[in-house]
Every structure is written in C-alpha cells, then in structure tokens.
Homo-oligomer: A and B are copies of this chain.
C-alpha cells in the first residue's frame, strides 16, 4: 500500500498530464495539471471562483456546474451541499473536483468573482515616482585570472558609480542565487536597490515590480505596479481567507487567543491568500512573483497585527493599545510571502488599536488631512473609521459597523457580482430593480440593500424604528414580516427575493454605530453636522451607494448632496502611493503623528448617540 502511494506520487511529479478547462460564461480556456483541483486551476489562471474556507470543502461557496466531460460521482459533502436535482445537473464543489480529462465548466453568478465589481479603481493622485526600490542596470566584466574579485564585489563595484550609493550590500537570501543568476544572464542585468541593499535581481529587459495591498476584514484588494513607471499593471481582489475563523475583528482576536496555534493559523491563512493574489496578478501581467521587489500592506490595526503574527490580546482589552504603531519594514520572507528574495513589506503606521494603517492610507490618498475648513471622512467597511479635519485638528475614531454592508446576515445579501440588485425604486406597488450586468436578479448587494430600505422608508412601509407596515407586497415570512422585491418568476433563483424586518435591523445597527461616531467627533470639535463643508465617503461599500438613500435612512448627515464626494477604495490608493513614493511614506508618518484618537467604547455619550442613531430619519 505504501509502495503504491509512493509510486503514484513519483508519477504525479514526473509525467504530469495537462487538462484543458473551458470556463463559462466568461469564455476562458485554461490549461491545468492532472492532480490539481478545479479551484486551484482557476486561481492559477486568474479565474475568480469564490471560496471562503480555502478549498477545504466546508463553505460550499465554490459551487460550479460541469457541462461537458466526466467527473467522479459526488462525495458525501457534495450530497449535503446540493439537491439530488442539482447533482444530476452536474453541480459540484470546485475545490473537491480533480479533473482527469478536459472539462467545460459553468460558473454560476454567485460563485463568479472575476466579474464582480472589485471597487479597486480610483484615481491616483499625482505623486512623483520615487520608490523605495530602484531598478539599476548593471553590466559586469566576468572573472579572469587577473581579475579575481568575488561575484558580489564585482556587482557592488559597479553600483558605486550610482550617485549616493557607497558600499552596497546584497540581501542574504539573494546571495544564494546571485552567482548562478549573474552567469545565466551573462553578467548584464537589472538589480533592485533599496537604500544601500540589493533586494532583487532581474533580467536586463525587466525592472522591479511592486505590490500594494489593502487588507480588509472582509475583502483583500491587491495591485501590481511597475516601480519604474509607477503604472498599475493589474488589480484584483479576494475574500479575506480568515473569514472562516471569524467574520469581524473581535471574533478573529478571540480566535487568535485560542490554543497555541490560533495566531499562526490566522497569519498563515492571510499570507497564503496574498501569495495566491500575487501569483494571479503576476500571471495575468506575464510576470513572476519573484520580480516583486517591494510591497506595501495597509489594513486596520487588527488585520495589520494578524498579518505580522503580532500578539492581539492587548488589542481586545481596555485600554486597547497596539503592539506596534510605527511604520515598519519587514522582510517578505519573514512573513512567508513569496516575492523577490530580499523584498521588504512596508507597513504604514497605525493610529490606535482600532484606527489602523488603512485609515492613514485613506487620509493620504484623499488629501483630506491637508484640507482647509471642516471636512469629514468615512471609510466604510466591516469596521468604519471616521476622521474629522476641523481647523488645525485631525480627530479619528472607529465604529464596529459589522459586515452587513458586504451582504452578510442579510437573507438575500451577496457580493456585488453579476445578478446582484444594485438599485431599487418603489413606485406605487411596483418595484423596479437594476442588477449588475442586467442579469436576472439573484440577490442584493450593499447599495441595493440601502436603496431598498430607503425606498421602503420613503413609502412609509417602514416606520422610524424600522417596523414593517402592511403593503400589497409585504407578507409574513418564517422569521417575521418581509417585503417581496422580485417575484420568483422574474428572479434568477426560482424563488422570491425579499427583504425582511430582520434585514432592516442589521442595517440600522450598522449605520447607527457609524453615525454615532460622527456625532461624537463633532462634539469633540465643538461643531454640528451643519458646519461640515465636505464629506468624503471611501471604502468598498461607499463607492456605489446612492447618497440620497444613505441620507434618507440616516446613515449620512442630512446635508446637500454636493457636499459629498465618493472616492472609491482610497485605502488601496494610499497603499499604491506609498508603494511608488517614499515622499508619500513620510507624509503618512506625519498624518499618524498628527491624528488624535478618540476612544468611543468608554463613553456614555456613545451609548446614547448609538441608540438615537439607530432610527431611520
């Protein structure tokens, strides 16, 4: 038995057989290896298939339909995850299928992440390209009996001709490859120089790349940049692979404190996710992860600590101090990231236990901290950070808005993918919905949920407290009253798509926490909402919401709509700025130094404000 296994593994390594997968509806023809799972093949090719459990057959998110080609009978897990009819139609879990021949595979809308709106766009503010790692072209003479200089000496002698570079050193891990690489490239190459340290080695026609990451509690956005030009070569996003261990920050801190391995498990999960993300970005750009000579990662303080493997116990207990607040430069390999041999990860500074480097990045990208007058900044996500620039002061706080805006805990909630309802209008008894891609509705994404609540409130189907009134389209559901948005006949899921009283409560909790934070900061500055000259709305969710709806339900202050500005994923933008410019890194330090953190959880005022802010206006 052991012999048979050993033989198979040898055969698997040596004579791997290719399989071709035709992914529909996106029309990608992809090559994989026998032995890989369908999920692995998709990921390596940059085809986005949702997975929350990291391919362990647990979450059921990676459901696909096999259209052509033969696969093995369903496993017991698949028999649990699908109805008999679905199984007969070829539904399987992509993480459990290992294709033995060519397949044609349909990715259903709720599984497909490639076409989902990633909210990773956003204009880059002008910033001179001055990255920490510069690509320097070198051409060396080869060793002879009369020139016995060591390989590294040969390289550092050449670098001495660069202005300001005296006595360069080579990263210890890069050293292990350098002698062979120099000979392979026939002594002409580009090296990535960071200060006085050589961190990467490139062929003569390739410069160093950079990776910027916005590490959200729920979503992780990655950007691949050319460090020479500052150009963005690609962008992608994945769900945070830590989600199975806890949906919000507090749940993950609790998990990290359990057992001896909790912290390591979370650290390895996110690092593995980032390695996949980087691999996918590089593949699509025709490059390799070992060309990535520098990374910048921003996240809230807990994500920052969990990514670095830092202790989080003190983050979960009053007075909630971070282990580290300063900006950091850490070797990527020390974290398990597979980038260039000597690559560093730069982490922007944190402001406090619950106002992290992602908020600093947002302030950096929007320039909000340099604005004259009274300006509010909201970075809306599972945690929402609030900043108030008032006169010379910069105040910040954090509120636990929860993952409702990402569709979690909402009966028909989903990510912003094809078929998601993104706009809702209620006219008399008719409901008009707009879906992403114009496809039949399969669920509600965040902006759709917000619209629905606002429309129901305007039509007085909801009262101020969120109670649901009688209406031709309301009915008693299993868990209380619900409103039918789309009838089964018109939906893409063969059932009515509804929004319930319970769904509305989730939105009230989320927006109440956020609004209460705004009130506390204004009080701290001696201002009222009317004094606000501008409101910057950032973050994955904030980009696509209807501002009118947000004001209607009391999520945003009742101000003229032209005072609001939606800026997209500003944290990701800030990460990119810090990636291509050390000047921007210095500004980020300045922001973190100047920000004054206001702690909400110890405040009686906050509890009162929260209770009031739960009302729909």
Give every chain B residue within 8 A of A334 (Cβ-Cβ): 172-173, 333
B143 in contact with A319 (CB, 8 Å): yes
> CB-CB contacts of A140-156 with B at 8 A, as 1s and 0s?
00011100111111001
Measured CB to CB, the nearest residue on chain B to A147 is B319
B321 in contact with A150 (CB, 8 Å): yes
Nearest-CB distance from A609 to chain B (Å)?
20
B310 in contact with A179 (CB, 8 Å): yes
B179 in contact with A311 (CB, 8 Å): yes
A172-B334, A176-B310, A180-B311 known; A148-B328 Cβ under 8 A: no
Number of copies: 2
B325 in contact with A149 (CB, 8 Å): yes
Does A324 make an interface contact (CB < 8 A)?
yes
Does A482 make an interface contact (CB < 8 A)?
no
Does A599 make an interface contact (CB < 8 A)?
yes
Give every chain B residue within 8 A of A183 (Cβ-Cβ): 314
Does A350 make an interface contact (CB < 8 A)?
yes
Measured CB to CB, the nearest residue on chain B to A178 is B323
> CB-CB contacts of A322-356 with B at 8 A, as 1s and 0s?
11111011110111000000000000001011000
Nearest-CB distance from A348 to chain B (Å)?
14
- Residue of A150, A177, A178, A314 contacting most chain B CB atoms (<10 Å): A150
**In the bound complex, CA of A177 to CA of B51 (Å):** 32
Give every chain B residue within 8 A of A180 (Cβ-Cβ): 311, 313
> CB-CB contacts of A288-323 with B at 8 A, as 1s and 0s?
000000000000000000001111011000111111
Give every chain B residue within 8 A of A149 (Cβ-Cβ): 321, 325
Give every chain B residue within 8 A of A325 (Cβ-Cβ): 149-150, 152-153
> CB-CB contacts of A50-75 with B at 8 A, as 1s and 0s?
00000000000000000000000000
Nearest-CB distance from A318 to chain B (Å)?
7
**In the bound complex, CA of A583 to CA of B156 (Å):** 23
Does A169 make an interface contact (CB < 8 A)?
yes
A151 in contact with B308 (CB, 8 Å): no
Interface SS, A side: mixed
Does A523 make an interface contact (CB < 8 A)?
no
Near B by CB (< 8 A), chain A positions 579-617 give 597, 599, 602
B151 in contact with A314 (CB, 8 Å): yes
- Residue of A144, A148, A328, A334 contacting most chain B CB atoms (<10 Å): A148
| Residues of A in contact, count (CB < 8 Å) | 49
Give every chain B residue within 8 A of A319 (Cβ-Cβ): 143-145, 148
Near B by CB (< 8 A), chain A positions 461-475 give none
Does A175 make an interface contact (CB < 8 A)?
yes
Near B by CB (< 8 A), chain A positions 119-155 give 143-145, 148-153
A323 in contact with B151 (CB, 8 Å): yes
Nearest-CB distance from A379 to chain B (Å)?
20
Nearest-CB distance from A589 to chain B (Å)?
10
**In the bound complex, CA of A597 to CA of B145 (Å):** 12
Give every chain B residue within 8 A of A324 (Cβ-Cβ): 150-153, 170, 175
- Residue of A145, A156, A311 contacting most chain B CB atoms (<10 Å): A311
A148 in contact with B309 (CB, 8 Å): no
Nearest-CB distance from A264 to chain B (Å)?
10
B321 in contact with A152 (CB, 8 Å): no
Measured CB to CB, the nearest residue on chain B to A328 is B172
A172-B308, A310-B176, A311-B180 known; A597-B148 Cβ under 8 A: yes
Nearest-CB distance from A294 to chain B (Å)?
15
A153-B326, A321-B143, A326-B169 known; A310-B148 Cβ under 8 A: no
Measured CB to CB, the nearest residue on chain B to A345 is B172
B175 in contact with A308 (CB, 8 Å): yes
B326 in contact with A175 (CB, 8 Å): no
Give every chain B residue within 8 A of A330 (Cβ-Cβ): 172
Which residue of the partner chain, among B143, B169, B326, B599, contacts A150 with CB atoms under 8 Å?
Answer: B326
**In the bound complex, CA of A82 to CA of B481 (Å):** 87
Nearest-CB distance from A303 to chain B (Å)?
16
Nearest-CB distance from A473 to chain B (Å)?
50
Nearest-CB distance from A295 to chain B (Å)?
14
A152-B325, A323-B152 known; A308-B143 Cβ under 8 A: no
Give every chain B residue within 8 A of A331 (Cβ-Cβ): 172
A150 in contact with B311 (CB, 8 Å): no
Nearest-CB distance from A255 to chain B (Å)?
17
Which residue of the partner chain, among B152, B323, B329, contacts A179 with CB atoms under 8 Å?
Answer: B323
Give every chain B residue within 8 A of A314 (Cβ-Cβ): 143, 151, 179, 183
- Residue of A156, A309, A323 contacting most chain B CB atoms (<10 Å): A323
Give every chain B residue within 8 A of A352 (Cβ-Cβ): 148
A175 in contact with B321 (CB, 8 Å): no
A143-B319, A156-B326 known; A308-B176 Cβ under 8 A: yes
Give every chain B residue within 8 A of A309 (Cβ-Cβ): 176
Measured CB to CB, the nearest residue on chain B to A321 is B143
Measured CB to CB, the nearest residue on chain B to A267 is B176
**In the bound complex, CA of A144 to CA of B321 (Å):** 9
Give 8 A-B pairs besides A151-B314, A175-B323 with Cβ atoms closer than 8 angstroms.
A148-B321, A148-B352, A149-B321, A150-B326, A153-B326, A156-B326, A172-B334, A178-B323
**Pairs A–B under 8 Å by Cβ, sample size 24:** A143-B314, A143-B319, A143-B321, A145-B318, A148-B321, A148-B352, A148-B599, A150-B321, A150-B324, A150-B350, A151-B314, A151-B323, A152-B323, A152-B324, A153-B325, A153-B326, A169-B328, A172-B328, A175-B323, A175-B324, A176-B308, A178-B323, A179-B311, A179-B314
Q: Which 4 A-B pairs have the closest CB atoms?
A: A150-B325, A172-B330, A150-B322, A179-B323
**Residues of chain A whose beta carbon lies under 8 Å from any beta carbon of chain B:** 143-145, 148-153, 156, 169-170, 172-173, 175-180, 183, 308-311, 313-314, 318-326, 328-331, 333-335, 350, 352-353, 597, 599, 602
